[in-house]
Structure 1
C-alpha cells in the first residue's frame, strides 16, 4: 500500500508540494532552470526557522552538560555499578534541569519533513495530480533521481550529486569538530583504570555523523539539497547559540 495516497498524508504532501512549487516559481525569473532546486533550499530554510526554538533547547542542554562535565566525570569514577551510575546521572541531570536527550530533538523534529521532501520527489502523482517537480533538474541532473540511478548517464549528469555529497561531508565534518571543541570527547564510563567500557565505540561515534552522506547518495537529489542546507544551517546556528548562551 502506498501511504502517500492515504487522504490525510496526501493533503499534507499536496500542501508541501504547493509551497515548494510556489517558492520555485518565485525565484525562477532569475534562477532559471535551478528555480525548483532553489525552492527546495528556501523551503528548508523556512523549516529551520520554525525549528529555531528546538535548536535553542539543544544548545542550552549542551551548555548544561558542559557545566556538569566535572561532576559527571566524578560520578563515573566513584560509582562502578552501571545501574547505580545511571540512576546517579539521571538524578544529577534532573536536579540541574539538564536534558541528556535534547541533542536528539532537531533530528527527530526534522525526520517527518525530510520524509515528506523525499516523498515529493519519488511519486509521479501527488494527491491525484501529476507531480511537476519531477520534471525539474539541477545542472542536468533530475531532482527526483539519486546518484546511482544517474551513473550511466555520464559525467554531465553526475557532477551535481558529487558536488552535493562533498559539500555535505565537509559540513558534517566541520560540525563534528565544532561539537568536539565545545563539549570535549564523548565521555563513556570506564570499565576500570585504563580500560574502555565499549571497545570500538570511539571509532563508531567518529563516523556516525557521516550516515547522512550515505543516505544522500541513495536519496533523490532534492532530499540531498535539503540535507546540505539543513546541515549548513545547523553549523551556523550552533556557532551563534553556543556563543550567546555560554555568555548568558
Structure 2
C-alpha cells in the first residue's frame, strides 16, 4: 500500500470519528485535527527554536568582541565564532527545522486531494465538502460555480478574511519585534557576520504572512485548510514563545 493510500485511510478514519459532530464537513474537520496533531508534534522544536533565537541574541556582544579581536584574521574569527556557538550549543539556523518538518504533511494533502484515484481506486475524499465547497476544488472553481458570493465562494471569503487577520497580526508583531530587538533577528553566520541573504529576508519577513493568501487561492481547499490552520497556530505559538 502506498504512502498516499495509508494517508487517505488516516483522513477517512478521522472523518468517521468526527461525523457525529460535523456531519458533511467531517473530512474538513479531520484535516484541521490532523494539522493540529502535526503542530503538536513539532511544538518541542518550535520551543527549541525560540530558545535558540534568544541564545543567539545573547551571544551577539561576545561575537562583537571576537570581531574586534580578530579583525585582521578572518579565518581565526570564523573559527572562534564556530567554537563559541559549539560551546554555547547554539545553531545559527535552528529556527528552520519546524517549518521544514511540516512540508511533507502539506504535500501529502495537496497530492491526496489532487488525485482522482488512490491505490487504484476512486478517491472518495474528493466527494467531501466544507459547507458547499468541495475539498478537492480551488478558488477558481468556486468563482466559476456561483462567483465570489456563491455558496463555495463564501467559504473562501471566510478563509481569506481569517488569513488576512492573522497576517495583519503577524505583520504588527514582527515589525514590533524587529524594532525592539534588531539583534535577535539579525542572525550570525560562521564568520560572525550576518547570514548571507538574511538582511533581505528580514525586510520581507513582516509581509510573508500575506503570501499565504496566494497559496490558499491556488491549492485544493483541503490543502488550504492545512495552511490556514497551521498559519493561525503559528501566530498564536510565536506570540506566546517570543514575548
TM score, norm. by length of structure 2: 0.78
Please say which of residues 204-213 and 217-226 is displaced more in the overlay: 204-213
Question: Distance between the aligned counterparts of 2:156 and 2:29, measured in 1?
Answer: 15
Aligned to 2:52: 61
Aligned to 1:164: 159
SS at match of 1:238: helix
Cα deviation 1:162-210 (Å, max 9, x = unaligned): 2212212322443454455556343389xxxxxxx99966543332343
Unaligned ranges ≥5, structure 2: 189-196
Aligned to 1:94: 86
The answer to whether the Cα contact below 8 Å between 1:19 and 1:43 also exists between their aligned partners in 2 is: no
Q: How does 1:1-248 map to 2 (within 5 A)?
A: 11-72=2-63, 89-153=81-145, 154=147, 155-156=149-150, 157-179=152-174, 181-182=176-177, 184-185=181-182, 186-187=185-186, 203-242=203-242
Could you say if the C-alpha distance between residues 206 and 149 of structure 1 is closer, same or farther in structure 2, counting changes exceeding 3 Å?
Answer: same
SS at match of 2:86: helix
SS at match of 1:159: helix
Could you say if the C-alpha distance between residues 44 and 188 of structure 1 is closer, same or farther in structure 2, counting changes exceeding 3 Å?
Answer: closer
Unaligned ranges ≥5, structure 1: 1-9, 190-196, 244-248
The alignment covers a number of residue pairs equal to 227
**Aligned-pair Cα RMSD in Å:** 3.1
Offset, 1:124: 0.8
Question: Distance between the aligned counterparts of 1:169 and 1:87, measured in 2?
Answer: 44
Offset, 1:71: 4.1
Offset, 1:88: 5.7
Question: Distance between the aligned counterparts of 2:222 and 2:17, measured in 1?
Answer: 18
Offset, 1:50: 1.8
TM score, norm. by length of structure 1: 0.77
Aligned to 1:192: none
Could you say if the C-alpha distance between residues 228 and 103 of structure 1 is closer, same or farther in structure 2, counting changes exceeding 3 Å?
Answer: same
Offset, 1:47: 1.4
